Amino acid sequence: MSEKGWSQLWLDYASKAGKDSVNGIRMGNVNVDIKDFDVDNRVIESAVKELNRAFCGDNDKVKVTLVRNKEVAKEGYRIGNIIGGSNENVAKSDAPEYVIEASDENGALYGVFHLIREKLMGKEYPNICADCAPSNPLRMMNHWDNMDGSIERGYSGRSFFFVGDEIVVNERTVDYARFMASVGINGVVINNVNVKWAATDLITTRFFDKVKELSDIFGDYGIKLYLSLNFASPIELGGLPICDPLDKDVINWWKDKIKEVYDHLPDLGGFLVKADSEGRPGPFTYGRTQADGANMLGDIIAQYGGIIIWRCFVYNCTQDWRDTKTDRARAGYDYFKGLDGEYHDNVILQIKNGPMDFQIREPISPLLGGLTKTNQMLEVQIAQEYTGHQIDVCYLIPMFKEILGFKTYCRDDLDTVADVISGRTMGNKYAGMAAVINTGNDYNWTGNDLAAANLYGFGRLAFNTELSSEEIAREWVRLTFDLEQDLEDKLVDMLLRSREIYEKYTSPLGIGWMVTPSDHYGPSVDGYEYSRWGTYHRADHLGLGVDRTDKGTGYAQQYYSPNAEMYNDPKTCPENLLLFFHHIPYTWKLASGQSLIQYIYDSHFEGCAEAEELAETWKEFEGKVSDRTYACVSERFGRQVYNAREWRDQVNSYFYRKSGISDEKGRTIY
């Protein structure tokens, strides 16, 4: 148990390198030398501090030299015995000597964390060497923290940035910055994209000093602070009658405001904006385009070196679903594709991974790569809004790997989502990945200790999209716990299976939702909050699924060929997305030979049994992880199993009653 009152997550040096450690990690005592970097630079200072923190044993001397080498990629690093690109050996001394080369301070800091990570995982000199460059220029966390301390879609307690409309800066903030830097995060948006109350708007005098303190702490760890912006600020803060992005008074108001903000927060990275969606105002209110709104802000912020991250989660939540051509999934592409090429250089479009909303299985948003002349970044959600609220275990890195590996066919090569959002495909300066974060002020930061695998994993993956889900899971397990090999393997396996298990007992084959409206935990088959005119999944006595083909909503046509054709035909559509794209009869035969209805029954029985099995396996960890972790995770498994049973029973009963077809295996379904 950490004395601090919060967990040290994967940087728990004391317990990993402690005497009682199963793996007996010896970190040693470090002597740091700095060449060509400014020793007083704040990031270099943090790097040195971190080395001293990690290598604090009194045995085994270790030497670390930080060297500037202009040839190393931006924010990248090399570790080994190669200085300045030559093969010159580091002077041999009694102590192992690690040389970390980087062209900038962030690279040096990441190199230090790499070295610490490898040491904590039990690697020894001279086997620790590296040559790493980040896959993505922007690697960001988006907090949906509100000023009153609540967190929208937060499942880990309250905000550690805000309490009672005030900003909190303390030692926990520093630890947060360390954790983020240790996995390569270089940007953090501290407040919710739904910015609602003028009295607590962060771009006002009342908050500048405290935001500056936060920004300075982040800056020490190479992280830029960003703010979510209220597009209606000219009205709500400025007292203007409108917030039309083309209105002169509105533009002048923003010019003054942004100048004021940068006078106080010179290091601010920029703004994240949610406009025209779910009750938020935006350019559409004035008949303007999304580009009009984003560019207006982009042009003003450009002189300060800031960027505008404009979210593409724009849709009309009051759409009438009875019209079978109306389709929320189409909205992003319909609103943004036509404006491709019109966004200015310091504007980035942030696109959710799927066209709907962070469901357990969705196709990749056709906007990713659909846009070919626009800066774009991928938004995923590690806050488990639709994936179990950090009660159910759901390791999401396998999902993110699928997204990154998707071939968009936007051109002949370099056309995967990973290529597009890294900037490789189109040569964008601004590109990357953002996650809606899963943290709060709980002792363990993430509600369920096992959900920290997603926090760690997102950062590692954004830094290196080539890492596999298993490598990341294993790193996290090894750094966080101190387990014998067989238990380490078991935990890695549990994580790797968890997403499919969750998918099996919840909504089948890409149809999505079926969750309790608003809360989004637990089953409610008809419960899509915006389907007040009927069910969104369109189940009747013959079948279910949404026809998004050229004969239906036409959504499948938003993809490039051959993806468009693949999705359009139920025979070539990947089965795990069958119901997203097609209305399918219950008697339809899947590749396995099972009928669709039988698949629904089987997968729900199986998923639930597998959740029970995970809970059972966890019992083997008693006494092998801390008592606090064991108790926390056990309690959550109890709730997961209950949840899985509810899902199984409600979904199976629903479709049994709708279809009138019994389970071939004769299991009881009421």
H or E segment to which residue 404 belongs: helix 397-405
User: DSSP class of residue 191?
Assistant: S
- Please report whether residue 274 would count as binding ligand GCW according to CB under 6 A: yes
- Please report whether residue 61 would count as binding ligand GCW according to CB under 6 A: no
140 by DSSP, 3-state: which? strand
**Binding residues for ligand GCW, total number by CB under 6 A:** 9
Q: How far is Cα 64 from Cα 32, in angstroms, rounded to an integer? A: 5
Sequential DSSP letters for 237-281: TT--S---TT-HHHHHHHHHHHHHHHHH-TT--EEEE--SSTT--
**Minimal distance in Å, beta carbon 454 to ligand GCW?**
17
The single residue among 2, 31, 194, 200 that binds ligand GCW, judged by CB under 6 A, is: 194
Q: Taking the mean position of all CA atoms in its chain, how far away is CA 316?
A: 24
Smaller CB separation from ligand GCW, 134 or 512: 512
362 is catalytic: no
Smaller CB separation from ligand GCW, 144 or 395: 144
Radius of gyration of the chain measured on its C-alpha atoms: 25
- Please report whether residue 196 would count as binding ligand GCW according to CB under 6 A: no
- Please report whether residue 594 would count as binding ligand GCW according to CB under 6 A: no
CB atoms within 10 A of CB 554: 15
- Please report whether residue 606 would count as binding ligand GCW according to CB under 6 A: no
- Please report whether residue 193 would count as binding ligand GCW according to CB under 6 A: yes
- Please report whether residue 319 would count as binding ligand GCW according to CB under 6 A: no
Smaller CB separation from ligand GCW, 403 or 491: 403
- Please report whether residue 548 would count as binding ligand GCW according to CB under 6 A: no
Q: How far is Cα 328 from Cα 316, in angstroms, rounded to an integer? A: 7
**Minimal distance in Å, beta carbon 274 to ligand GCW?**
5
20 by DSSP, 3-state: which? coil
The residue of the chain with the least Cβ separation from ligand GCW equals 357
Which of 88, 278, 345, 664 is flagged as catalytic?
278
Core vs surface per residue 78-91: b (16+ CB within 10 A) or e: bbebbbeeeeeebe
Smaller CB separation from ligand GCW, 520 or 583: 520
Q: How far is Cα 336 from Cα 375, in angstroms, rounded to an integer? A: 12
User: DSSP class of residue 197?
Assistant: -
Smaller CB separation from ligand GCW, 99 or 314: 314
- Please report whether residue 389 would count as binding ligand GCW according to CB under 6 A: no
- Please report whether residue 313 would count as binding ligand GCW according to CB under 6 A: yes
**Minimal distance in Å, beta carbon 154 to ligand GCW?**
10
Q: CA separation (Å) from 110 to 43, 77, 295, 462?
A: 10, 7, 33, 13
635 is catalytic: no
Structure tokens at 257: 């405001």
Site for ligand GCW in 617-646 (CB under 6 A): none
Q: Which of 371, 533, 394, 233 is nearest to 380 (CA)?
A: 394
Instruction: For residue 382, give the amino acid letter.
Output: I
Structure tokens at 112: 């230090």
**Minimal distance in Å, beta carbon 144 to ligand GCW?**
5
278 is catalytic: yes
**Minimal distance in Å, beta carbon 70 to ligand GCW?**
40
The single residue among 42, 53, 61, 153 that binds ligand GCW, judged by CB under 6 A, is: 153
For residue 283, is the peptide bond before it cis, meaning its omega torsion is within 30 degrees of 0? Answer: no
**Minimal distance in Å, beta carbon 381 to ligand GCW?**
8
Q: How far is Cα 362 from Cα 399, in angstroms, rounded to an integer? A: 10
Structure tokens at 268: 């601010």
Instruction: For residue 524, give the amino acid letter.
Output: S
**Minimal distance in Å, beta carbon 446 to ligand GCW?**
18
Q: What x/- string results for residues 341 through 370 when contact with ligand GCW is judged by CB under 6 A?
A: ----------------x-------------
Which of 357, 362, 602, 610 is flagged as catalytic?
357
**Minimal distance in Å, beta carbon 278 to ligand GCW?**
6
377 by DSSP, 3-state: which? strand
Q: Applying CB under 6 A, which residues contact ligand GCW? A: 144, 152-153, 193-194, 274, 278, 313, 357
For the annotated catalytic residues, the residue numbers are 278, 357, 385
